[in-house]
């Protein structure tokens, strides 16, 4: 992966491989914002998938990661949530 910097191009390493732009998130973290480049059809598809995931778990127990971003660590496989 190239050296990430704010405003640089990134690619989300998910099942869709969407392109995005590095944006500052908090004090010391960059995230890959790919949502802005999705077509309306892709946005509707993803929103539908997120809603399906939410409906599969009880309302009070919902633990769906519905963020539209991947952080540098997530893309490198260094997700800090273990």
pLDDT, averaged in runs of 10, over the chain (82 residues): 80 73 89 85 86 65 53 63 52
Q: Is the dihedral of CA 47, 20, 24, 69 positive or negative?
A: positive
Q: How far is CA 61 from CA 29, 47, 56, in A?
A: 28, 19, 10
How many whole angstroms from its chain centre is CA 64? 12
Domain assignments of the chain as residue spans, ordered by start:
9-75
pLDDT digits (tens, 9 = 90+) for 69-78: 566 676 666 6
């Amino acid at each position: 992966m190239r050296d990430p910097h704010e405003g640089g191009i990134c690619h989300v390493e998910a099942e869709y491989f969407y392109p995005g732009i590095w944006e500052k998130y908090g004090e010391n973290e960059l995230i890959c914002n790919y949502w802005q480049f999705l077509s309306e059809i892709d946005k509707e598809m993803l929103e539908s998938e997120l809603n399906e995931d939410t409906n599969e778990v009880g309302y009070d127990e919902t633990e769906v990661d519905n963020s539209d971003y991947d952080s540098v660590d997530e893309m490198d496989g260094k997700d800090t949530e273990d």
